[in-house]
């Protein structure tokens, strides 16, 4: 069943867990996540990121996600991630996305506020909630893209940003990065606590891959209500498929590869749901 992401995030904040958020770019990833959520009774968020899966048209991805979420027996939210323009967000909403993220983190603050405000007005008119980003989460899930340095969220402008834009959730930067961490991850939990103490708007964490269980635990305790994962559940996939290839003399049938991929993703996602403390919260 489809549940608005903002509703799910608020519930997570009240009950002290984080909504596990995965890319649902194709059928294998989507089915694995939903099956994992059903098995452990977890709410689930599925996103589509155009910059990561540029080869998959939005017109195919969104209906697939919406149909899968609608059929699920656990609460599932679907979101367009990191939309950087009015047009793509409007397209996503028209196709059935019930949450969108406007990523204006690369813009000057005043411009980020103004554009976020415009997106919120449009999205809310169609019953769609909006996530924005304040500060800048660096790194990249793409191997061929040069990663940029993160810029921590300035707590002094959080309230103004939220009040003017009327966003439903806020992605913040506190040492988290997209893709693989380069060196030791240093998360500013005090910053999360400070921002969480200022507002009831749920806080989200992008770049949730590769941390220790204790770092996830502390992030949630500090006030994070939604954690995004992609890299974390894909890094060991090739090794798993190589094992399958060995068993099939390097010539597995394609449907076996699909099945092995679903099984691998499901195993990794179940582990993350345990880390997020979302199991049993559906």
The annotated binding site for Zn(2+) is made up of 82, 103, 133, 178, 206
- The answer to whether 106 touches 67, Cβ cutoff 8 Å, is no
- Paired with 79 in beta bridges are 47
- Paired with 131 in beta bridges are 101, 169
In 3D, which of 69, 80, 84 has the Cα closest to residue 30? 69
| Residue 281 CA to its chain's centroid (Å) | 18
Dihedrals phi, psi of 269, to nearest 5 degrees: -70, -40
Q: Which residue numbers belong to the known binding site?
A: 82, 103, 133, 178, 206
Measured between alpha carbons, how far is 46 from 23 in angstroms, rounded to an integer?
A: 6
In 3D, which of 232, 210, 215 has the Cα closest to residue 174? 215
Vertex 120: Cα angle to 127 and 129 (nearest 5):
40
Q: Which tokens go with 229?
A: 């994962």
- Paired with 169 in beta bridges are 131
DSSP state letter for 18: -
DSSP state letter for 243: H
């Amino acid at each position: 069943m489809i549940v608005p992401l903002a509703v799910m995030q608020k519930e997570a904040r009240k009950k002290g867990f984080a909504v596990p958020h995965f890319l649902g770019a194709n059928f294998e990833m989507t089915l694995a996540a939903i099956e994992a959520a059903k098995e452990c009774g977890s709410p689930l968020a599925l996103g589509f990121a155009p910059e990561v899966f540029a080869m998959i048209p939005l017109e195919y991805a969104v209906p697939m996600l919406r149909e899968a979420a609608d059929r699920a027996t656990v609460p599932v939210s679907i979101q367009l991630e990191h939309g950087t323009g009015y047009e793509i967000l409007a397209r996503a909403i028209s196709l059935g996305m019930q949450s969108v993220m406007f990523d204006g983190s690369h813009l000057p603050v005043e411009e980020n506020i103004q554009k976020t405000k415009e997106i919120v007005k449009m999205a809310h008119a169609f019953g769609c909630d909006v996530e924005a980003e304040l500060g800048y989460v660096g790194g990249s899930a793409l191997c061929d893209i040069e990663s940029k340095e993160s810029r921590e969220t300035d707590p002094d402008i959080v309230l103004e940003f939220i009040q003017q834009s009327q966003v439903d959730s806020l992605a913040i930067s506190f040492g988290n990065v997209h893709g693989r961490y380069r060196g030791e991850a240093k998360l500013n939990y005090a910053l999360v606590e400070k921002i969480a103490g200022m507002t009831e708007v749920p806080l989200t964490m992008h770049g949730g891959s590769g941390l220790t269980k204790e770092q996830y635990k502390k992030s949630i305790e500090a006030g994070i209500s939604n954690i995004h994962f992609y890299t974390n559940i894909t890094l060991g996939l090739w090794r798993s498929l190589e094992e399958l290839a060995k068993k099939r003399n390097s010539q597995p049938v394609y449907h076996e590869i699909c099945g092995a991929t679903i099984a691998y993703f499901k195993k990794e996602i179940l582990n993350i749901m345990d880390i997020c403390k979302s199991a049993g919260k559906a």
